């Protein structure tokens, strides 16, 4: 069997095994989550870091409609495979101490979602990409609806309506592109070859951008995110923030800009400005938050705003910064939400004003929390520094004034993240925090893995950057040539 098919469908098989087995569910889920990671390790070891697409699978699916199961991996996809298959085992491990009703259904939905994510990140067929896009949405909807907080139904409905609306507009664009190809194909290479007029490319740009901007989210399409992140169970929040929003980022890089280069030429600056507005807006809102989960949610909007701005600057520095920052943001935000979950489970509150002094009874937690916060604010020798430096350089090469505004994410981010750390960890203990217990073995394992990744990627970013460099340069050159021809 083809190795890429195994990579995509092993999580689906794992979901079925979990549903059937019924015994030692958490342990089984932990072991099964490592199989896709091992396959990713094999793919990485055998991957040639050039501009080609490797491990190709091209099987007839619905041939009478020009639909194939067509998937492959290039340097851009490889980063997302690593992100997905590293984070899923961490997320599964982090859930071991939580009291989850109907564990079989919960972990099966996690693995089912993983299959959808892997389809999105490897699909080279427009219809297959859309199927993966929707397949990833269904499990997270049920995870949030069944295991979320008190307001989960109302909040989840808003999230679902937002994402479905964006998806349907994107589907219309995909169908239109399919009809325009000479052989009525959904092949992404055929989409790239289309020579559409600027007006048509303009509406295609916005059709794709709406779907991707909602998922990321980019201002002003972000309003579903803080409530959803707050009400979702911790594992659901980790999946949404750590991996699922990268579907939108990846979509912009792989599908939006290369398919509609003239639309990007006309409207890319508008998208970049919206991204920068989101950075400043979300950072200011984060200042006012005393709910630890909402603060992290708004910080995610700000960091993704910089990520988006770097992409729409469309140069090697910005795009390479986006590639490594997708990985970094996923690691860091999963760590932050796990820390928040530990505090909430022990203190039964999300209110930072009721905390303080936790570092005294829980020094191991405080140390891990500090490493994650420093990685998030981009301290040199942590993973966040490399990504933010490249992203800001990319925006600077596009426009110096935009880079000055985008750079506020570093200053403002440091203020609200360190403020969060200070309120929770430092100062005197109170009647709630005096009896706070430090990390147990499982929690230490999760935070140790995350802390090591933050430092290792910060010190040695080249193995990550090297994977995507050729693919990024090739994609930028293709798009720029189409724009210059016009």
55 Ramachandran zone, left/alpha/beta (phi>0; psi -120 to 50): left
Q: Which residues pair with 58 in a beta bridge?
A: 70
Q: Which of 286, 211, 281 is nearest to 245 (CA)?
A: 211
> What are the distances in angstroms from CA 332 to CA 272, 424, 449, 471?
24, 18, 11, 25
What six digits make up the tokens of 225? 């995110």
Question: What CA–CA distance (Å, rounded) separates 399 from 126?
Answer: 33
Q: pLDDT value at position 486?
A: 63
CB 350 within 8 A of CB 376: no
Query: Tens of pLDDT along 406-415?
Result: 888 888 888 8
Asked if 210 and 170 count as a contact pair (C-beta separation under 8 A), the reply is yes
CA distances from 178 to 53, 56, 191, 192, 336 (A): 21, 21, 8, 11, 42
Q: In terms of Cα–Cα distance, which of 298, 319, 325 is closest to 413?
A: 298
CA distances to 72, 130, 308 from 8, rounded to whole Å, are 11, 15, 27
Query: How far is the C-alpha of 276 from the C-alpha of 309, rounded, in Å?
Result: 7
The span from the CA of 143 to the CA of 107, in Å, is: 9
Beta bridge partners of 351: 291
CA distance 167 to 207: 9
Q: Which residues of the chain fall below pLDDT 70?
A: 1, 22, 486
Q: Which two structure tokens, joined as six digits, stand for 119? A: 């389809």
- Cα–Cα separations (whole angstroms), residue 295 to 225, 409, 485: 12, 14, 46
Angular region, 185: left φ>0, alpha ψ -120 to 50, beta rest: beta
* Long-range contacts formed by 477-485: CB under 8 A, 24+ apart: 478/192, 478/258, 479/257, 479/258, 479/261, 479/264, 479/314, 480/314, 482/261, 482/262, 483/261, 483/262, 483/264, 483/265
In this prediction, residue 66 carries a pLDDT of 79
Please give the Cα distance from 150 to 156 (Å, whole number).
Answer: 11
pLDDT digits (tens, 9 = 90+) for 72-99: 999 999 999 999 999 999 999 988 877 7
302 upstream amide cis, omega within 30 of 0: no
Burial category of 372 from C-beta neighbours within 10 Å (exposed 0-12, middle 13-18, buried 19 and up): buried
| Helices within 348-461 (DSSP H only) | 363-377, 383-398, 400-406, 408-425, 441-459
Amino acid 1: pLDDT: 54
Residue labelled with tokens 């790239």 = 192
List the domain range (segments joined by +) for residue 57: 3-485
Pinpoint the alpha helices (H) of 181-243.
Answer: 188-193, 198-215, 225-231, 234-238
What angle, rounded to 10 degrees, do the helices at 75-94 and 462-485 form?
A: 130
Taking alpha carbons only, the member of 1, 123, 136 closest to residue 61 is 123
Q: Residue 103 has what pLDDT?
A: 82
Q: Confirm if 136 and 113 have CB atoms less than 8 A apart.
A: yes
CA 338 to chain centre: 16
Domain count, the chain: 1
């Amino acid at each position: 069997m083809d190795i890429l098919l195994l990579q995509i469908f092993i999580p689906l098989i794992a979901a079925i095994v979990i549903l059937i087995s019924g015994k030692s569910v958490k342990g089984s889920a932990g072991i099964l989550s490592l199989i896709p990671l091992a396959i990713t390790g094999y793919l990485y070891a055998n991957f040639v870091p050039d501009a080609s697409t490797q491990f190709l699978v091209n099987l007839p699916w619905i041939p009478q409609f020009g639909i194939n199961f067509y998937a492959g991996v290039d340097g851009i996809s490889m980063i997302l495979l690593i992100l997905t298959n590293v984070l899923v085992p961490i997320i599964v491990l982090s859930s071991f101490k939580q009291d989850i009703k109907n564990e079989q259904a919960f972990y099966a939905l996690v693995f089912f979602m993983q299959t959808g994510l892997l389809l999105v990140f490897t699909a080279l067929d427009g219809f297959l990409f859309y199927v993966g896009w929707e397949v990833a949405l269904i499990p997270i909807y049920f995870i949030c609806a069944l295991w979320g907080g008190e307001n989960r139904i109302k909040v989840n409905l808003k999230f679902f309506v937002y994402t479905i609306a964006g998806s349907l507009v994107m589907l219309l664009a995909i169908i239109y592109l399919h009809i325009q190809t000479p052989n009525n194909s959904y092949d992404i290479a055929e989409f790239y070859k289309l020579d559409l007029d600027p007006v048509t490319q303009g509406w295609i740009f916005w059709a794709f951008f709406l779907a991707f901007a909602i998922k990321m989210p980019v201002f002003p399409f972000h309003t579903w995110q803080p409530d959803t992140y707050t009400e979702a169970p911790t594992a659901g929040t980790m999946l949404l923030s750590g991996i699922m929003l990268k579907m939108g980022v990846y979509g912009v890089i792989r599908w939006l800009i290369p398919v509609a280069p003239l639309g990007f030429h006309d409207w890319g600056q508008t998208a970049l400005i919206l991204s920068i507005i989101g950075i400043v807006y979300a950072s200011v809102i984060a200042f006012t938050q005393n709910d630890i989960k909402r603060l992290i949610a708004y910080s995610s909007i700000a960091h993704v705003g910089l990520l988006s701005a770097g992409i729409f600057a469309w140069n090697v520095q910005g795009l390479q910064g986006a590639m490594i920052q997708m990985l970094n943001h996923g690691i860091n935000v999963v760590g932050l939400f796990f820390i928040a979950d530990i505090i909430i489970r022990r203190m039964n509150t999300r209110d930072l004003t009721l905390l303080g002094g936790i570092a005294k009874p829980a020094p191991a937690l405080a140390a891990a929390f500090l490493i994650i916060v420093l990685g998030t604010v981009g301290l040199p020798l942590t993973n966040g520094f490399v990504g933010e430096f490249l992203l800001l350089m990319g925006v600077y090469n596009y426009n110096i004034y935009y880079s000055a505004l985008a750079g506020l994410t570093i200053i403002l981010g440091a203020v609200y993240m360190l403020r969060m750390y200070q309120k929770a960890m430092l100062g005197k203990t109170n009647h709630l925090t005096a009896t706070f217990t430090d990390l147990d073995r499982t929690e230490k394992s999760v935070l140790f893995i995350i802390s090591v990744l933050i430092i290792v990627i910060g010190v040695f970013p080249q193995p990550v950057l090297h994977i995507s460099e050729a693919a990024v340069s090739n994609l930028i050159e293709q798009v720029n040539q189409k724009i210059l021809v016009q």
